[in-house]
Amino acid sequence: MHGGIAQGVAQALMEEVVYDLDGNPLTSTFADYSFISATELPSFETRFTETPTPINALGAKGIGESGTIGSAPALHNAVCDAVAHLGVRHVDMPTTPIRVWNAINEAAPGNDAGKKGR
Amino acid sequence: MIPASFDYVRAGSVDEAIGLLSEHGEDAKLLAGGHSLLPLMKLRLAQPAMLIDIGRLRELSYVKEEKEYVAVGALTRHHDIAQSPVALASAPVLAHVAGQIGDPQVRHRGTIGGSISHGDPASDLPAVLLALGGTLVVQGPNGRREIDAKDFFLSFFEVALTPEEVLVEVRVPRSSGQWGFEKLTKRAQDWAIVGAVAVKTSDGVGVGLINMGPVPLRASAVEAAVTSGAKAIDAAQLAGEGTDPAADFNGSVAYRQHVAKVLVRRALEKVGV
């Protein structure tokens, strides 16, 4: 579960394969491609519910993806909410620092480029 | 990720390393912790024909207190500086920043001399040396000479060492006063997108910038403003002056100059400006 949550957080905040305009990969090593680690993450609290499946003998189900599915939109919505009062309506994923800063500037009063809406 | 082929020799002393450098000239590179040079070699951005390994010269690994300054041997590893009682007492900003470099693996292998002589503007330690007004002791065939940190970083990955010289010691003025260190990274282990360091010195406040140009920079305009009485929020507005940062997918020029102002303000506030 913790790994799944971490993967979704990384997708929302930093993980991205980037190419330049000529198609050269810019994230060809793990120095440039930002996988996430425990250092960037808080502690998680997990709660469990047990609903065994009747269609196999163990009652077991796969749940690893559920953390990923929930955490990416939760993080992305939190970032968008944090800058909504500045007029920002949209930020592309992942919401890297430069993307958030650009979105704030585009939405700034007096910047017509930011008023086109999305 | 496979380096070009190279020859390898281990030097048993500084004099032997200087002799080998004199023999092999610009085709040779010194190898210490290997955490800057080896990645460049794997990307084939560096292709030295000869590696001269000085990593086992333990006599160059120390942190010593002198009357006016703290002396750090060039082969002292970042982790050892971060843990050194002498550094923590008399150069606390150096100890703190050494403990923030890369990840534990890097800090247990990488050395201060390797990081400084690499001349990478995105490294943390050069900005600390500039802010503190440090001095570098280098040794060559004609003996030792001292170079002011401000004269050491010449251009992108180029420093004032001649091909026969070895950096042997880093000196920083003793400074147990207030300091502030701020760096913006996506992940703890990353190089700084932008970083700033401010320290109280005997002449006022020294401010260094990380990754804001082809060389590590001193924020002279900010320092001058602080000297003439400006508060942190006003002095920090000058943090972009004289900078020439690179643009990449982590930040445009305008973004880096904006972040520099924010980080310089925070660092100045920590030294009571």
Contact B188 A37 (CB under 8 A): yes
From the candidates B194, B250, B256, which should be mutated to test the interface with A, based on the most A CB atoms within 10 A?
B250
* Shortest alpha-carbon distance between residue B105 and chain A (Å): 14
pLDDT band with cut points at 50, 70 and 90 for residue A118: very low
Nearest by CB: B184 against A14, A26, A97? A97
β B194-201/B204-210 pair status: antiparallel
Residue B170, strand partner residues: B72, B136
CA–CA separation, B139 and B22 (whole Å): 12
From the list A37, A40, A98, the residue facing B250 with the nearest CB is A98
Query: Kindly report the CA angle at A28 between A23 and A34, in degrees rounded to 5?
Result: 115
Tell whether the model's pLDDT for residue A83 goes beyond 80.
yes
Q: pLDDT-based confidence at B25, cuts 50/70/90? A: confident
pLDDT tens for B185-223 read 999 999 999 999 999 988 899 999 999 999 999 999 999
Of the residues A98, A100, A106, A111, the best mutation for testing chain B's interface (the one with the most B CB atoms within 10 Å of its CB) is: A98
> Measured between alpha carbons, how far is B120 from B179 in angstroms, rounded to an integer?
23
Alpha-carbon gap: A47 to the closest alpha carbon of chain B (Å): 28
Q: What residue ranges define each of the domains in chain B, with the CATH number in brackets?
A: 7-53 (3.30.43.10), 58-173 (3.30.465.10), 179-270 (3.30.390.50)
CA nearest B45: which of B33, B36, B32, B55?
A: B36
| CB of A100 closer than 8 Å to CB of A75 | no
Backbone phi and psi for residue B168, each to the nearest 5 degrees, phi listed first: -110, -25
Residue B193 near chain A (CB below 8 Å): yes
Q: Indicate the average pLDDT of chain B.
A: 95
Residues B68, B173: contact at Cβ < 8 Å?
Answer: yes
Distance CA B248, CA B261 (A): 19
The type of residue at A65 is E
Contact (CB<8Å) A98/B186: no
* Residue A116 pLDDT: 46
Instruction: Identify which of B107, B134, B258 has the alpha carbon closest to the alpha carbon of residue B196.
Output: B258
CB-based burial of residue B92 (10 Å sphere; 0-12 exposed, 13-18 middle, 19+ buried)? middle
In this prediction, residues A22-32 reach a mean pLDDT of: 92
Give me the residue from B187, B188, B255 closest to A101, CB to CB: B255
* Residue B164 to residue B22: CA distance in whole angstroms: 5
Q: Which of A37-46, A62-71, B119-128 has the highest mean pLDDT?
A: B119-128
Interface predicted TM-score of the whole assembly (ipTM), two decimals: 0.84
Q: Give me the residue label for tokens 């923590």.
A: B88
Three-state DSSP class for B136?
strand
Does the beta carbon of A101 lie under 8 angstroms from any beta carbon of chain B?
Answer: yes
Please give the residue of chain B at the shortest CA–CA distance from A29.
B1
pTM: 0.91
Higher per-residue confidence, A63 vs B140: B140
Residues of A with Cβ-Cβ distance to B248 under 8 angstroms: 26
pLDDT tens for B125-153 read 999 999 999 999 999 999 999 999 999 99
The full set of domains in chain A, from first to last, is 2-116 (3.30.365.10)
Q: Is A32 exposed, middle or buried (0-12, 13-18, 19+ CB in 10 A)?
A: middle
Q: Does A96 touch chain B (CB under 8 A)?
A: yes
